[in-house]
Amino acid sequence: MTDITKESVLPPRSLLSQSTAQVFYRLLAALLICAALAVLSDSFLSLGNILNVLRQASLTFFIASGLTLVVLTAGLDLSVGANVALSACLAGTVIHQTGSPTLGIVTGLLAGGTVGFLNGFMVTALRIPSFIATYGMLWVLNGVTYWYMAGETIHGFPAGFRQIGSGYFLGLPIPVYLLLVFLAIGTLFAQRTTWGQEIYAIGANPVAARLSGIPVARRLLLVYTVSGTMAGLASIIFLSRLNSAEADIGESLTLPAIAAVLIGGTSLFGGVGTVFGTFIGALILTLVLNGMNLLSISANWQPLVTGIIVIIAVWLDMKTRRPTQ
C-alpha cells in the first residue's frame, strides 16, 4: 500500500498549468469584449471610462480575492457583502467619534477578520457546511447592522481618508495601486508558498490532505479569516469612495464577488484556480456592466445578466473540470 505523504497530495504541475491556460482564455475573452465595446460605443476608450472600469474592477477584486482562497478549498463564503456593510459602519463610527482614520481602518480590518474567523470556526469546529454557516452569518450580520445603524447614515469623512477610494497618484486611481499590491501578494501566497499549495491540496482531496499531515482545520480557519479581512479592506475602500456608511451598503456586493471568482476560472469543486484569474473575472464582469451602461441598457437587466453569467460559468466548470479531477 502506497503511503500518503504531503508531497504526494500537493497539486501537480499539470493542474497548475491547466489553471494558467484557463486564465489565458479568459484574458482573451476580456480583450474581445473590449474590442466589441470599442466598436459599439464611442466613449468606451475614453481615459475617464477606462479609469472608471479599473476602479470598479478593483473594488470587486478586493472582496473576491479572499473569497478565491475559500473556493479553492471547495467552500463558499456568502457573508462577504454583509461583512463589508457591518465593517464599514463600525469603521465609520470610529472615524466620526475619534477623528482618526487610522483607528477606523484598523476597526474595519479587525471587524472583517473577526467575522471571517467565526465563519472558519463554524466550518472547522462545528463542522457546519460552509454554504449553511456563511448564509446564516449573512442574516446575523444584516440583523446586527440594521439594529446598530437604526436607519441612520454616517457621512462626511476627512479629506485625507477619502483619498484612499477617490484619490489619484500619477494619473491612476489609488485603489488600482492597492489592487496591484494585493494581486501580487495573493498570487505569491497561493502559488509559491507551502501554505498556498496545501490550500490547493485540501480543495482537491481533503481526506488525503488530512492523512498526509496537512493541518486542514488550521488552514481552513486561515482562509476564512483572510476572506473576512479582505471584506474589511473593501469596506474601507467603499467607505472612502462613497463618503458615507449605511446598513444596506453591502447588499449588492456578494453576487458580483462570487461571479468574479467563477468567471476567473476557480472551480467550485476546489483545487483549481488562481487569484490572477479572479482579477480577470472581476475585469470581465465590470466590462460587461460598463458596456450595458454605455449602451443605455436598463439597470434592471444588470442582475439578470450577472446571474446568467454565473450560471454559464458554473456549467462550464462542471463540464470541463470534473472529468479531469
Please check whether residue 185 is in contact with residue 77, taking contact to mean a CB–CB distance below 8 angstroms.
no
Helical ranges in 193-215 per DSSP H: 194-204, 206-211
> Could you give the angle at the alpha carbon of 324 between the alpha carbons of 318 and 325, nearest 5°?
85
Please check whether residue 161 is in contact with residue 101, taking contact to mean a CB–CB distance below 8 angstroms.
yes
C-alpha radius of gyration, the chain, whole number? 20
Please check whether residue 225 is in contact with residue 74, taking contact to mean a CB–CB distance below 8 angstroms.
no
In whole angstroms, what separates CA 246 from the centre of its chain?
A: 21
* Cell numbers found for residue 169: 497618484
In single-letter form, the type of residue at position 291 comes to: G
In single-letter form, the type of residue at position 77 comes to: D
> Could you give the angle at the alpha carbon of 201 between the alpha carbons of 221 and 283, nearest 5°?
80
Long-range own/partner contacts, residues 187-196 (CB < 8 A, 24 or more apart): 187/274, 187/275, 187/276, 190/68, 190/69, 190/72, 190/274, 190/275, 191/16, 191/274, 195/219, 195/222
Please check whether residue 41 is in contact with residue 291, taking contact to mean a CB–CB distance below 8 angstroms.
yes
138: three-class secondary structure by DSSP: helix
In single-letter form, the type of residue at position 85 comes to: A
* Cell numbers found for residue 321: 473540470
pTM for the predicted model, two decimal places? 0.89
Query: From first to last of its 325 residues, what are the pLDDT tens digits of the chain?
Result: 456 666 666 665 555 566 677 778 888 888 999 999 999 988 899 999 999 999 999 989 999 999 999 999 999 999 999 999 999 999 999 999 999 999 999 999 999 999 999 999 999 999 999 999 999 999 999 999 999 999 899 988 999 999 999 999 998 999 999 999 999 999 999 988 999 999 999 998 888 888 888 999 999 999 999 999 999 999 999 999 999 998 988 888 898 899 899 888 898 888 888 999 999 999 999 999 999 889 888 877 877 887 888 788 778 777 766 554 4
pLDDT score for 255: 87
